[in-house]
């Protein structure tokens, strides 16, 4: 069975993709032998795994769930690291410490931009829209990009690839 996220071939009896960890059981049957037409949603852990496994992948599409789970992971981890950094600085006799939050921010900046680009692709927009932060740094980009992130993705094949939630049933036309 082909994985709907990374398109890797897996054995028919596999429950999860060997490449990205996406659940394959939802694409075969759900419950006691009843097929499900409901596409699976990515989990919190699955979104983190996909974020890091697609570190430099700016092409393709990502679901809303993948995007928002990644944002939750990013915000919670960054705030937690900031709290720990504050405690360490208060207890440290040296006064200077390389902030773990800064290292985390630098380590997750590229996957965050790549995921944002793939999310914009899901609503048939170019990933270059993220550059609005450079032109209008304060009010306009957060509002526009949040509206884009909240929009439901195109349910069909678009110029950026197949629908990530239904990729197993869509085969992109590579002949042209």
- Residue-wise pLDDT for 133-146, tens only, equals 777 777 777 788 87
Angle between the 44-53 and 100-122 helix axes, to the nearest 10 degrees? 90
Residues in the chain: 176
The pLDDT assigned to 95 comes to 55
The pLDDT assigned to 96 comes to 58
Spatial distance between the Cα atoms of 100 and 83, rounded to a whole number of angstroms: 10
Phi, psi of 114 (to 5 degrees): -65, -45
Cα dist from 111 to 11, 37, 49, 152, whole Å: 29, 31, 11, 21
Segment-wise mean pLDDT, segments of 10 residues, the chain, 176 residues: 74 72 59 45 87 89 89 93 81 66 89 90 85 76 80 79 64 48
pTM, to two decimals:
0.65
The pLDDT assigned to 114 comes to 92
- Helix H or strand E segment including 67: helix 64-91
How many helices, marked H, and strands, marked E, lie in the chain?
A: 6, 0
- All residues at 6 or more sequence positions from 47 whose CB lies less than 8 Å from its CB, including other chains: 65, 66, 67, 69, 70, 73
Cα dist from 165 to 11, 38, 104, whole Å: 20, 9, 29
Cβ-based burial of 171 (10 A; exposed 0-12, middle 13-18, buried ≥19): exposed
In the chain, where the domains are located = 1-40, 41-150
Cα dist from 139 to 113, 133, 143, 149, whole Å: 19, 9, 7, 16
């Amino acid at each position: 069975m082909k994985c709907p996220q990374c398109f890797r071939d897996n054995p028919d009896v596999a429950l999860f993709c060997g490449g990205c960890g996406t659940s394959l059981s939802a694409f075969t049957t759900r419950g006691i032998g009843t097929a499900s037409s409901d596409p699976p949603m990515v989990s919190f852990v699955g979104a983190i795994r996909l974020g890091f496994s697609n570190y430099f992948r700016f092409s393709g599409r990502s679901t809303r769930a993948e995007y928002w789970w990644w944002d939750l992971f990013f915000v919670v981890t960054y705030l937690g690291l900031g709290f720990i950094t504050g405690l360490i600085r208060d207890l440290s006799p040296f006064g200077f410490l390389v902030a773990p939050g800064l290292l985390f921010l630098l380590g997750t900046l590229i996957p965050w931009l790549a995921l944002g680009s793939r999310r914009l692709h899901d609503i048939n927009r170019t990933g270059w829209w993220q550059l609005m932060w450079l032109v209008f740094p304060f009010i306009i980009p957060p509002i526009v990009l949040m509206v884009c992130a909240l929009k439901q993705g195109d349910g069909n094949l678009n110029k950026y690839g197949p629908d990530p939630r239904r990729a197993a049933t869509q085969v992109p036309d590579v002949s042209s």
